[in-house]
Amino acid sequence: MRCFELARKGLGLTRTNPLVGSVIVHHDRIIGEGYHHEFGGPHAEVNAIRAVKDQSLLPESTLYCNLEPCAHQGKTPPCSLLIMQKKIRRVVISNLDPFPSVNGLGIRLMEEAGVEVHRGCLAEEGYRLNRRFFHFHEKKRPYVIMKWAKTQDGYLDLVREPGDPVGTNWITDDVSRTLVHKWRSEESAIMVGTNTVITDNPSLNIRRWTGDQPVRITLDRNGRLPGDANILDGSQETLVFTGVQGKYSGRTRSIHVDPSYDLEDLMEGLFDQQIMSVLVEGGAELLNSFIKSGLWDEARVFTGKVSFSQGVIAPFLWGDPVEKLGFNETSLEIFLNYNPAVH
């Protein structure tokens, strides 16, 4: 479990790389540990090996890692080769790496060199940890997390009329809003629909948290986005999928799509853009489209204490949540659209 604790420290920082932690044990004592800090930086196994003060102990040690050591030369040398060079004779891992250049090759190379490799240790927990990475490579699309807040009487928002003030009708408390900013920092991108940009004018940043700003994504099939929208301010990378001629520059890019494009086309486009995970924050039309298509993996649903009496009906999910949480004046339910025990 220590590998998982270490690996989670890289959440939101490794881009398309997996979350990996590594621990080296000599005679039941940890002598080195490390994790993958950031995209392009040394891998967990490298950091763990470097942390061992007495390198002569490595041949008699066991290296634990939640993911198969890599076997290819990328931005860093292959970790499986380093393990062999250091004469580490026993390696324990949770999951195979689905990346095409690895996918069992790292294990095979180590075993051929005489390394004793044990796989499948806490495999379900390992899959859950790296669910974004596995979904991205296995399904060829981002891991999709839907998020919304609903009132006690089941509404997502008030009905907006022409001339109504632009802004958010808050449902949740301040703690919940800060939590959402933490979630944003953990994903590759945030997505909202055109109507949400027009009515709420969100900034879609992590001003309440620390970390790398996610890519902002919106759909603007008919070119309705106002030019002064906050998400077009150039402060962070933004992708606008649109059916009209691109008119953006700098850190805001337009990606031209056919007017008949659907969510499957969008997922393919995001995969091409190397977006490994996306937090879909609304509005109702976009969320319901994801639910109807089945192209979602996780949903996080807040329920606040307020009531609207009438308004935009919140999306509905069949089935029971896998987790329920409560804090302050808000409750939170977590739903999954897959069975993690299968992997």
Same domain, 127 and 163: no
Same domain, 127 and 162: no
What CA–CA distance (Å, rounded) separates 119 from 84? Answer: 17
Q: What number is the average pLDDT over the span 73-97?
A: 90
| Peptide bond connecting 319 to the previous residue in cis, omega within 30 degrees of 0 | no
Summary mean pLDDT of the chain:
92
**What radius of gyration, in Å, describes the C-alpha atoms of the chain?**
22
Same domain, 246 and 229: yes
E-strand stretches of 171-287: 189-193, 215-220, 238-242, 252-256, 277-280
Q: Which residues contact 43 (CB under 8 A, 6 or more apart)?
A: 20, 36, 69, 70, 76, 79
Does 61 or 248 have the greater pLDDT score?
61
What CA–CA distance (Å, rounded) separates 35 from 72? Answer: 18
When pLDDT is cut at 50, 70 and 90, the band that residue 328 belongs to is confident
Q: Is the pLDDT of residue 45 over 60?
A: yes
Q: What is the pLDDT of residues 217-259, one digit of tens each?
A: 998 888 899 989 999 999 999 999 998 877 787 899 999 888 7
When pLDDT is cut at 50, 70 and 90, the band that residue 194 belongs to is very high
Domain count, the chain: 2
In the chain, the percentage of residues whose pLDDT exceeds 70 is: 96
Q: Which of 46, 241, 10, 219 is nearest to 132 (CA)?
A: 10
Q: Are 12 and 182 in contact (CB under 8 A)?
A: no
Same domain, 221 and 127: no
Q: What number is the average pLDDT over the span 213-217?
A: 96
77, with CB counted inside 10 A (0-12, 13-18, 19+), is middle
Give the bridge partners for 23, in sequence order.
Answer: 33, 64
Q: What number is the average pLDDT over the span 15-43?
A: 95
Q: How is residue 213 annotated by DSSP?
A: P
Q: What number is the average pLDDT over the span 70-78?
A: 76
Same domain, 317 and 209: yes
Q: Which residues contact 104 (CB under 8 A, 6 or more apart)?
A: 68, 96
Q: What number is the average pLDDT over the span 103-131?
A: 94
The pLDDT of residue 261 is 86
Tell me the Ramachandran region of residue 21: left when phi exceeds 0, alpha when psi lies from -120 to 50, beta otherwise: beta
Domain boundary among 74, 107, 133: 133
Same domain, 157 and 18: no
Continuous segment of H or E residues that includes residue 266: helix 263-272
The pLDDT of residue 73 is 67
Domain boundary among 133, 156, 184: 133
Q: Which of 88, 90, 94, 86 is nearest to 68 (CA)?
A: 94
The pLDDT of residue 247 is 77
Q: Is the pLDDT of residue 75 over 90?
A: no
Same domain, 150 and 277: yes
HSE (side-chain half, CA atoms, 13 Å) at 226 = 12
Choose the catalytic residue: 45, 68, 187, 298.
45
Same domain, 216 and 114: no
Domain boundary among 102, 133, 164: 133
Q: Which of 334, 343, 342, 272 is nearest to 145 (CA)?
A: 334
When pLDDT is cut at 50, 70 and 90, the band that residue 160 belongs to is confident
What CA–CA distance (Å, rounded) separates 223 from 163? Answer: 20
Q: Which of 242, 202, 206, 207 is nearest to 223 (CA)?
A: 242
CA 114 and chain centroid, separation: 36
The residue count of the chain comes to 343
For residue 77, the enclosing domain spans 2-133
Same domain, 148 and 118: no
Does 257 or 62 have the greater pLDDT score?
62
Q: Which residues contact 342 (CB under 8 A, 6 or more apart)?
A: none
When pLDDT is cut at 50, 70 and 90, the band that residue 94 belongs to is very high
For the question of residue 124 being annotated catalytic, the response is: no
Same domain, 164 and 100: no
Does 74 or 48 have the greater pLDDT score?
48
Q: Is the pLDDT of residue 343 over 60?
A: no
When pLDDT is cut at 50, 70 and 90, the band that residue 342 belongs to is low
Q: What is the pLDDT of residues 259-318, one digit of tens each?
A: 788 999 999 999 999 999 999 998 999 999 999 999 999 999 999 999 999 999 999 999
Q: Is the pLDDT of residue 71 over 90?
A: no
What CA–CA distance (Å, rounded) separates 143 from 237? Answer: 19
Same domain, 110 and 212: no
Read off the CATH number of the domain in which 65 is found. Answer: 3.40.140.10
Verdict on whether the full-model pTM lies above 0.75? yes
Same domain, 206 and 306: yes
Q: What number is the average pLDDT over the span 45-59?
A: 97
What CA–CA distance (Å, rounded) separates 170 from 177? Answer: 9
Q: What number is the average pLDDT over the span 61-76?
A: 87
Read off the CATH number of the domain in which 270 is found. Answer: 3.40.430.10
Specify the residue for token string 């997996």: 18
In one-letter notation, the amino acid at residue 95 is N
